Structure 1
Amino acid sequence: MNKIVSTLGVMATVAYSTTVYADEIMSATDNWNQIEQRAKGQTVYFHAWGGSQEINRYIQWAGKQLKSEYGVTLKHVKVTDIAETTTRLIAEKAAGKDSEGSVDIVWINGENFRSLKNNHLLFGPFTQSLPNWQYVDKSLPIDVDFSEPTEGLEAPWGVGQLVFIHDQKTLHNPPQSFSEMLSYAQAFPNRLSYPRPPEFHGTSFIKSLLIELTNNSPALSKPVSNDDFQTITAPLWAYLDKFHKVAWRGGKQFPAGTSESIQLLDDGQIDLAITFNPNAVFSAQASGKLAKSTKAYALESGALSNIHFLAIPWNAHSSAGALVTINFLLSPQAQSRKGDLNIWGDPSVLSSQYLTGSAKHTQQFKSVDEPHPSWQTALENEWLKRYGN
């Protein structure tokens, strides 16, 4: 591994047992200054979802700032599903590539974090040693990710909530529950859909649906078992069998993701788009992708919610540059721009007193907790078996 600062005795390990303690990485401002010096000239490969122009432009802006202020070159490696990166890192581990890795930062949450953590593929803990950690809102659920303890191995980056977007001119009273959504689809065939799992938004849709159909069964907060899965998910498949018959294109085709969902709404082909950003409607309106009459809303029961995170692989080539990048992305400057309703509108993980502009007032809805991460893989596999072809 590329050691961050050799004089600090940084123990960025190949596999952590309780890994590298933050005070061993950096314990004072002087140490951080050395890390910034080490980061100069490094190229940081940032694996992040590339399905949103607004997000891609924001990362481009961050790259320019990092180059100007710290001499760090940020390369956005656009992925359609971060599981691709997880698979790559597992392959590097199997091949014994414990240094000079191809990934320096990964944008993750939930199942992928659990997989990386369990396979000892993460550097850290590092979060509390970041200078900008002081600005993070500690009242947010930043210590767990889909019920998995984060243990300082990933830094919170933003708040996600599953919401729907409708055009108030054509759909004044949108469905307030999944039950109403099915009734609407049956009354108005070919007007509703959701992205195809295992795409993140599609999987989130079926998780939210399962939560409603089971009245948020306590079993969903525990690791999935075969017996529980068959019993608990039976109403889900019964619902989807009915829904697909009257869905957009007869449930034989699904939007690729939130961007296509929003495009279909704007084109008048469907009546509800889906997003995991409660403020995405504002940036889409600002860029001309949606009419000003569109509005985001959550179902009556609330919005499936989680924090999304940034992590550093155990074998990152540019670990110093990765630390400097994540620290910058947690700065009031970067978080205020990310939360700007006309740019990304992603709700910030910083306390609002440190934010400026519209980022101080991003909207959030009542939260619904994520199921245990093991449910995600089980649901995706079963969905693909039943509807993948």
Structure 2
Amino acid sequence: MRLPLLATLAFGLAAPALAGGWDDTVAAARGQTVYWNAWGGDERTNDFIAWASGALQTQYGVTINHVKLSDTAEAVTRVIAEKAAGQAEDGSVDLIWINGANFLSMKEQGLLHGPFLQNLPNARYLDLSEGSAAVVDFTIPTEGYESPWRLAKFVLTRDSARVAEPPRSMAALLDWAKANPGRFTHPAVTNFMGSTFLKQALIELAPDPSVLQAEATDEAFSAATEPLWTWYDALRPNLWREGVTFPENESVLQQMLNDGEVDFAMAFDPAAAAAAVERGLLPETVRSYAPEAGSIGNISFVAIPFNAAHKEGAMVVANFLLDPAVQARAQDITVLGSYSVLDPAKLDAAAKAAFDALPDSPALPSNEALGPTLGEPHPSWMTRLAEDWARRYTE
């Protein structure tokens, strides 16, 4: 059962009793257009941002202009160029969907506005205790310079009509690929999903995964990745097209699964397959699952550049994204299917009821089935992994 939209929004979007400081922010934000630089490669996400813009305009007089990125680095580079040119105000980027290396780069270069998270009224619904996922981004403390907005976790998706018992570890995946050559592949490692697949394998195969939480040194990288490359050397000739070419991104891989060209897809969103089934983009026989030892996961954040022209509007958007009603809508597989970043223990009965009423799907794994969340490595590992993979397999 699904609550009507207006009923779902009623409990979460009523104006709370705000402190004077937040009242001033809301007043200053009215009439602003927030240039939100966010990845534009997913139709569901684009539709959700468009919906959010309409809701924000109605409630706060704030509009979102979705600047669609193929790579977050595009926006980071723009802010760096503006700082180099001495543009300390009226920057072209108001809000960025950001994670990991890009956040670390902006933080180290003093390119972020804040800290601002503690000023958002809806931050009260987050677990902000030390070390929680809401305050750490790829091992880097966010220190209030980012605000969470959606939860991500690596899953594999299989067509159960063709794969009854899927491999539940990277070692088992290699055995399956050898027995079924050409039926598995991953997105290009230049794409975020492809590099995430490599990181998942690295965490499972590294002799001591704890070293991944610190910056990668030459010695640590060599020792930790040796089993990974041995495994990948054996996997590659059994990939689709013998690992010579790769799908551009997860959307292309999903289409290949739908067309029967491969038997697996992958996503960093446990509800992606269920949402695709809902839209008729995947067969009803698909099932998503996590590796038995757990899967790599993180929270997606938004951040505000130091020179944003519309800081107040950006804060209103960030606060809106944390509203329990908005988070429930985002988790609806008929809308976005993005797992909530909120702490369930901090929600009232009405908010919990909205989450409980969300539609289910056989393709949607339960929280219990997803198992433990494996922490993201330090950003330096992803950079080195992508470079080393390219050197080994494309040059």
TM-score, normalising length: structure 2: 0.88
Q: 5+ residue gaps in structure 1?
A: 1-27
- 1:14 corresponding residue in structure 2: none
8 Å CA contact 2:208–2:224 kept in 1: the answer is: no
From 32, 42, 52, the counterpart of 2:42: 52
1:120 aligns with 2:126: no
Q: Which amino acid aligns with 1:68?
A: T
1:370 aligns with 2:376: yes
- 2:279 corresponding residue in structure 1: 287
How many Å separate the matches in 2 of 1:304 and 1:344?
20
- C-alpha displacement at 1:151, in angstroms? 0.3
- C-alpha displacement at 1:341, in angstroms? 2.0
- C-alpha displacement at 1:267, in angstroms? 0.7
The equivalences for 1:1-389 within 5 A come to 29-138=19-128, 140-352=132-344, 353=347, 354-355=351-352, 356-357=354-355, 358=357, 363-364=366-367, 365=370, 366-389=372-395
Cα distance per residue 1:296-345 (max 9 Å; x no partner): 10011111011111110111011111011111111112111101122111
- C-alpha displacement at 1:166, in angstroms? 0.7
8 Å CA contact 2:155–2:269 kept in 1: the answer is: yes
Q: 1:152 to 1:166 in 2, by over 3 A?
A: same
Larger deviation: 281-290 or 229-238?
229-238
How many Å separate the matches in 2 of 1:216 and 1:92?
41
Query: Which secondary structure does the structure 2 equivalent of 1:142 belong to?
Result: helix
- C-alpha displacement at 1:107, in angstroms? 0.7
- C-alpha displacement at 1:222, in angstroms? 1.1
How many Å separate the matches in 2 of 1:379 and 1:232?
11
- C-alpha displacement at 1:70, in angstroms? 1.2
TM-score, normalising length: structure 1: 0.89
8 Å CA contact 2:126–2:134 kept in 1: the answer is: no
Larger deviation: 356-365 or 340-349?
356-365
Runs of 4+ residues deviating >6 angstroms: none
Question: How large is the Cα RMSD of the aligned pairs?
Answer: 1.8
Query: Which secondary structure does the structure 2 equivalent of 1:285 belong to?
Result: helix
Query: Which secondary structure does the structure 1 equivalent of 2:158 belong to?
Result: strand
How many Å separate the matches in 2 of 1:119 and 1:249?
42
- 1:21 corresponding residue in structure 2: none
How many Å separate the matches in 2 of 1:200 and 1:360?
29
Q: 1:134 to 1:360 in 2, by over 3 A?
A: farther
How many Å separate the matches in 2 of 1:290 and 1:237?
32
How many Å separate the matches in 2 of 1:287 and 1:216?
42
How many Å separate the matches in 1 of 2:259 and 2:319?
40
How many Å separate the matches in 1 of 2:314 and 2:24?
14
- C-alpha displacement at 1:360, in angstroms? 9.9
Q: Which amino acid aligns with 1:370?
A: E
8 Å CA contact 1:338–1:359 kept in 2: the answer is: no
